[in-house]
Amino acid sequence: MLSRSLFRSRFEWLRMTAPETNERTASGPRTSDLGLRTRIKTLSPPVNPPKIIDHRARAAAFIADPGRSQWHDQALWFVRTKRDKAVAQVPEWERLRTHAAAIKAFVVDNLGELLAQFIAEATAAGATVHIAHDAAEHNAIVQGILNSAGATRVVKSKSMLTEQCGLNHHLADHGVSVVDTDLGERIVQLAQEPPSHIVLPAIHRRKEEVGALFAEHLGTPPGLDDPVALTRAARAHLRAHFLAADAAITGVNFAVADTGSIVICTNEGNMDFGTALPDLHIACMGLEKLVPLASDLGVFTRLLARSATGQAITTYTSHLRGPRAGGALHIVIVDDGRVAHAADVQTNTALACIRCGACMNTCPIFRRAGGHSYGSTIPGPIGIVLAPHRDPSRARHLPDACSVCGSCSDVCPVKIPLHQQILTWRGRLADLGLLPWSKRIGMRVLAGIMARPWLFRPLAWSGRRLARCLPGVLRRRLAGTWGQGHAVPVPPKQSFHAQWRARK
Amino acid sequence: MISAHDDVLRRLRAIPKRGVTHPGFFAEPMPIADLPARFTAAAEAAGAVVIPLHGNNPASALALHGVWNAAQQVVIAGVDVVPPSGAVMVDLATTRDLHDLATVDAVVMRGMFGVAENGAIWLHTDSAAVRAALVVTQHLILVVSASELVPTMHQAYARLDLRATSYGVFISGPSKTADIEQSLVIGAHGPLSLTVLLQ
């Protein structure tokens, strides 16, 4: 476990982001200080999680290592502060958010027309467009394209959609090897776990663990944990895969209906490298990625990277229209519940999400509990509002992973009212009868008591009296889960009601 | 059986419309007084090395450039320079196998324009070889004219015709990653360095 002072010195190191600070990194605390030298443990739940996601138990597993949880919290808060600095450089930030939300509202209202227009334009540009109802159809289409091209070695750049569809496993089962090329995604692929964050897939892993993984799979020297050296090793390892690949699979950030272009943003250049050499490129996207006009990209590219990492723009913002000379471009567009979501007027603004991850970086629960606690490809506040659309029963506990502080809604670049939708889902899941019986009965009893002052007042009085004479430990017990890790203060002598009357 | 294509479109069109209108162009983005200064600061923040040419030609700047002089294999596209002594010039027009470009050390190319707010440079090409060389090279050198700078991405897209572009890219700085403990490392899969010659 990390001592406090050690943690602080390590966190200072985290703040130094320039490459010339490598010496400081090398002279930082050694692996043994962290007790992480042992072979990498699987932190995450299995890839196919159980019928009901138990967020509380999963969060408890992450928090059980307080050093890790605290580091994770501060690392993400650091990203959030970088976002704030970048936003402060743009005086029209709030107008940009409003504009982006208005464009996306237009998109959600006109999805049919925009999709038809995009298909026509992309087809005219020489791409082949496929539509898939669900994950299984999506995987079958991709497999079919690869099979008919005879492609067996695939490099993939970041795509949460293919992650959600379980594409890698499907293709592996059918003789196609898929190598994730985003560094964070490669790390979690080697660790055989899902990403824990949509922009920072391996943020839950410490550099010593990455070093151990690379020593095992890439042959780096044991104990090597310098991020620069590890990144160089990954560069060499993945370069070999790029050169050997016979197909590339990528995600899509924006699909322009007016021109049939797809836009893909990366910092690493892995999309551009992956698609530069092989003749076959398959781009996979959810149908909500559509934007009407090329000029709309001005709004979204200004918002995306600033919200995600605090950069003014990603290193590569690439625009592809049709296949490259001598190649083939297939675009696979997936419904998988999105059409039904678009028809749900109470929550369809969530389809505006541009996957920046800002809501995760700011969320006090995400920062402490880690992305795997949500048991969903898209975790965090946006994950909470998307998951129940797919499977309300499975996601029934997720809306409780929220203190309704509203910070997610404040940072969202497309102004999705995330915390309000989380509340909406709490109500809906209760209406669907998906709350546990203890909560259902408890809430009914509580509602009955609170609606009857003649019953509430004597009960509150005796509760207060009892709590006043209990020692702190028992008071915390009485407070249930709220008492865990919190001090429960001594209740006042007088009730609020009595104090209020005395004032009047 | 109805195809997924027709079925999805039919179901999307069946959703009752709320009559939302498109908000139009984004009006009045922030003015930037000194475009070259802001562009330089933003490009440097993105990890690029910016060399102002002050009326000199790119060749004289490159003659003093360590990365360029150390290169063994170079690609020169649309810029009037000669390879450093001892280096081999790779001709993209005669490149048969794109994989041959994997050994290129440096590419010097002209960018169409730059964006002051974020230091990005726009390039576009229909050539598979140019597209590959841009990202496969170890080092990238882009020449951009100081008179070809726009303030923000709004003016940038106003200049572009995406219909005429099979591959177009805004590049800001060298490739980079922070996927290990949020520690920024310059040089991920694309170039290890980006030099901008501001003409």
Q: How far apart are CA B124 and CA B170, in angstroms?
A: 9
Q: How many A/B residue pairs have CB atoms within 8 Å?
A: 261
Section A398-426 average pLDDT: 97
Nearest to A425 by CA among A380, A379, A392: A392
pLDDT reading at A46 higher than 50: no
pLDDT reading at A59 higher than 50: yes
pLDDT reading at A36 higher than 60: no
Q: Could you tell me the maximum CA-CA distance found in chain A, to the nearest angstrom?
A: 84
Section A250-266 average pLDDT: 98
Q: What Cα–Cα distance (Å) separates residue A262 from each residue in A258, B192, B193?
A: 11, 26, 26
pLDDT reading at A26 higher than 60: no
| Residue B188 sits at the chain A interface (C-beta within 8 Å) | yes
- Nearest-Cα distance to chain B for A403, in Å, is 26
| Residue B154 sits at the chain A interface (C-beta within 8 Å) | yes
Q: How far apart are CA A481 and CA A321, in angstroms?
A: 54
**For testing the chain A interface, which of B9, B20, B180 should be mutated: the one with the most A CBs within 10 Å?**
B180
Please answer yes or no on whether A75 and B165 come within 8 Å at the CB atom.
no
Section B63-80 average pLDDT: 94
Q: What is the pLDDT of residues A289-308, one digit of tens each?
A: 999 999 999 999 999 999 99
With contacts defined as CB-CB under 8 Å, which chain B residues touch A132?
Answer: 4
With contacts defined as CB-CB under 8 Å, which chain A residues touch B42?
Answer: 312
Q: What Cα–Cα distance (Å) separates residue B108 from each residue in A52, A381, B49, B90?
A: 55, 44, 14, 12
**For testing the chain B interface, which of A181, A315, A320 should be mutated: the one with the most B CBs within 10 Å?**
A315
Q: What Cα–Cα distance (Å) separates residue A34 from each residue in A38, A212, A221, A226?
A: 10, 13, 18, 15
Cα radius of gyration (chain A): 25
The shortest CB-CB distance from B11 to any of A110, A298, A339 is to A339
Closest Cα in chain B to A205: B181
Phi, psi dihedral angles at A459 (to 5 degrees): -65, -40
Answer whether A352's CB lies under 8 Å from B24's CB: no
With contacts defined as CB-CB under 8 Å, which chain A residues touch B41?
Answer: none
Residue A372, number of CB atoms within 10 A of its CB: 22
Compare A13 and B115 and report the one with higher pLDDT: B115
Please answer yes or no on whether A277 and B21 come within 8 Å at the CB atom.
no
pLDDT reading at A56 higher than 50: yes
pLDDT reading at A387 higher than 90: yes
pTM of the predicted model as reported, rounded to 2 decimal places? 0.91
| Residue B1 sits at the chain A interface (C-beta within 8 Å) | no
Q: What is the ipTM of this complex?
A: 0.98
Compare B108 and A23 and report the one with higher pLDDT: B108
The shortest CB-CB distance from B99 to any of A91, A277, A301 is to A277
Q: How far apart are CA A78 and CA A72, in angstroms?
A: 10
- Nearest-Cα distance to chain A for B23, in Å, is 6
B window 40-99, beta carbon within 8 A of A = 42, 45-46, 98-99
With contacts defined as CB-CB under 8 Å, which chain A residues touch B29?
Answer: 92
Section A225-239 average pLDDT: 97
Confidence tier at B1 by pLDDT (50, 70, 90): low
pLDDT reading at A1 higher than 80: no
Question: b or e along B21-53 (b: 16 or more beta carbons within 10 Å of the residue's beta carbon)?
Answer: eebeebeebeebeebeebbbebbeebbbbbbee
pLDDT value of residue A188: 97
Question: What's the per-residue H, E or C state across B133-167?
Answer: HHHHCCEEEEEECCCCEECCHHHHHHHCCHHHCCE
Confidence tier at A467 by pLDDT (50, 70, 90): confident
- Nearest-Cα distance to chain A for B58, in Å, is 24
pLDDT value of residue A471: 86
Amino acid letter at A104? Answer: K
Please answer yes or no on whether A14 and B3 come within 8 Å at the CB atom.
no
pLDDT value of residue A138: 98
**Helix, strand, coil: what percent of chain B each, to 5?**
30, 25, 45
pLDDT reading at B138 higher than 90: yes
- Nearest-Cα distance to chain A for B33, in Å, is 14
pLDDT value of residue A28: 35
What tokens were used for B173?
Answer: 């700085």
The shortest CB-CB distance from A325 to any of B127, B169, B173 is to B127
Please answer yes or no on whether A318 and B169 come within 8 Å at the CB atom.
yes
Q: What is the pLDDT of residues A360-379, one digit of tens each?
A: 999 999 999 999 999 999 99
